[in-house]
Amino acid sequence: MNGTSNYWTSKLERVGRRRFLAGAGTVALGAASVALVGCGDDDDDMDTPTSGETPSGPTPTAVEGITDYPTYTSVVKAAEYIQKYNWRNLPEPKLPPRRGGDYQQTVGLIPPHFDPIGPLVNSYAIPTNLRQIYNQLTRLEMEWDDNLDQANPEGELAENWEQVDDTTLVFNLREGVKFQDIDPVSARLLTSEDVKYTYEAYRDTPISGYFEAVDRIETPDDQTVRIVFSEPAAYFLNLISGPSTSILPVELDEQGRRENPVGTGPFQLKGGVFKPEQEVTYLRNPDYWEVRDGIQLPYLDKSTMLQPADPTVALEGFRDGQFDSSAYAFNFGLVDSVLESNPDTIVQVVSDHPSVIYHLGINNDNPKWKDERVRRAVAYAIDIQQLIDLGLEGAAAPGCLVDWASMGRRFPPTL
């Protein structure tokens, strides 16, 4: 029985990407936004909260004697932009893809490292770049004609998989998949031991919860991975379908993962070495395994990501044709401005899934926050709508915690 039509995926349809995001340490809440960068300081002497969960409780009532409450109005109608420039409304390509070319794009952040096991693995810059170098066992459907609201898992390094029983999955690896020809791996074939090594390593990382229900991982032969769970884990296929669970070669130590990443993905770092700076250049992996419509992927010869110190450089460079695309978090007003100067521009406003939140958290390990009344007072003092309107241009909504019980956790809905 193929892994795409059984008990596990029927449960996935119910759990969906909410559970995927919850597993990544993201509390679910109805929200949409263009972009948000969160900064924190873990200095113990600071009085401001640094991490934790969003306080919940009843809506604060008016304080006696105060009647002049400020009101805020969104500067734009965010919903109109999200609807108009949604992925569903993108124009179809005018020409079929062809091989070759050098793609130049600007991004808001260059990754600090390429180690999927390292810190900040869920910082958006790291997973985005991991996809260039690595593959996962499975991935989510993302083709032009796929329904991105479903985004079902499909095989990547796994040719197929089978659900043997309620607590056992068996993955059959693609044959002939090679790692990039970079020391110390040097173009050797992928084996089941690489998958086992990788998943075992993730059990001691910030995403260890992904593998909480995994009892053991077996490798009967070089092409077979058997994962036995302590209980049914319907969410597992979704969780391993993102770049945060990239498959690594057993030879790569911590320094190698950070500075000399080697994977099975479509691109490899120019020179095979990463140095944190304002530019990352990828070259085509000549041994990449994937073929589409008779063409070996990737299509591009080269891809360069640049992080200009001044966002206006990215904007003007795009206007002048210096850059092919820009992933900078420009505000909605700039969308109209760019379309006026460059009317052929294809715009996509990416709104987060309703289960995603951005939250202000309180560190409950700090004794200054032990008193629930203090935490509740701070929660009442924060004007959430003001943050939404002024910080996110109205492209969000207040929300609350979501029960994670289906992941085997029990969090009381209190402060």
pLDDT digits (tens, 9 = 90+) for 345-402: 888 887 766 666 777 778 888 999 999 999 889 888 988 888 888 777 777 777 766 5
DSSP string, 272-341: G----SSEEEEEE-TT---EETTEESP--SEEEEE--SSHHHHHHHHHTTS-SEE-----HHHHHHHHHH
To the question of domain 91-307 being in CATH 3.40.190.10, the answer is: yes
Q: Comparing 30-39, 114-123, 171-180, which segment has the lowest mean pLDDT?
A: 30-39
Q: Label residue 134 by pLDDT band (50, 70, 90).
A: very high
The predicted structure's pLDDT at residue 26: 25
Residue 76's pLDDT is what? 52
CA 212 centroid distance within chain: 20
Q: How far is CA 39 from CA 20, 36, 119, 348, 380, in A?
A: 24, 10, 15, 26, 22
* CA angle (200, 203, 205) in 5-degree steps: 125
Whether residue 41 is predicted with pLDDT greater than 60 in this model: the reply is no
Residue boundaries of the structural domains of the chain: 30-90+350-399, 91-307
The residue written with tokens 């992941």 in the block is: 407
Across the strands, what pairs with 263? none
Tens digit of each residue's pLDDT (9 = 90 or more) over 91-129: 887 888 889 999 999 887 788 878 888 766 556 667 778
Q: Rounded distance, CA 138 to CA 54, Å?
A: 32
Cβ atoms of 133 and 114 within 8 Å: the answer is yes
Query: Which of 151-155, 179-183, 199-203 comes out lowest in average pLDDT?
Result: 151-155
In 3D space, the residue among 290, 283, 250 whose CA is nearest the CA of residue 117 turns out to be 250
Please state, in angstroms and as integers, the Cα–Cα distance from residue 213 to each residue in 167, 227, 409, following that order: 9, 10, 12
Query: Is there a contact between 414 and 367 (Cβ–Cβ < 8 Å)?
Result: no
102-106 and 302-306: which strand pairing? parallel
| pLDDT cut 90: percent of the chain above it | 31
Q: How confident is the model at residue 16 (pLDDT cuts 50, 70, 90)?
A: very low
Q: Per-residue pLDDT averaged across 24-52, rounded?
A: 32
Tell me the pLDDT band of 218, cut-offs 50, 70 and 90. very high
Query: What is the predicted pLDDT for the residue at 22?
Result: 28
Q: Is the dihedral of CA 363, 364, 370, 371 positive or negative?
A: positive
Is the pLDDT confidence value at 48 over 50?
no
> Has residue 316 got a pLDDT over 70?
yes
Mean pLDDT, the chain, whole residue set: 76
Residue 220's pLDDT band (cuts 50, 70, 90): very high
Alpha carbon of residue 328 to chain centroid: 16
410 or 398, higher pLDDT: 398
Write down the pLDDT at residue 329: 58
Distance, CA of 248 to CA of 261 (rounded, Å): 9
Q: How confident is the model at residue 146 (pLDDT cuts 50, 70, 90)?
A: low
Spatial distance between the Cα atoms of 179 and 190, rounded to a whole number of angstroms: 7
The helix, strand and coil proportions of the chain, stated in percent and rounded to the nearest 5, come to 25, 15, 60
Give me the pLDDT at residue 43, please.
39
pLDDT at residue 216 is higher than 90: yes
Mean pLDDT is lowest, of 235-249, 256-270, 358-372, for 358-372
pLDDT exceeds cutoff 70 at 185: yes
Q: So what's the pLDDT on residue 63? A: 43
**Does pLDDT of 42 surpass 60?**
no
> Pairing mode, if any, of strands 325-326 and 102-106?
parallel
Task: Please name the residue that has the structure tokens 């079902």.
Answer: 152
DSSP state of 188: P
Helix axis angle, 311-319 relative to 332-341, nearest 10°? 30
Between 57 and 214, the higher pLDDT residue: 214
- Better-predicted residue by pLDDT, 282 or 309: 282
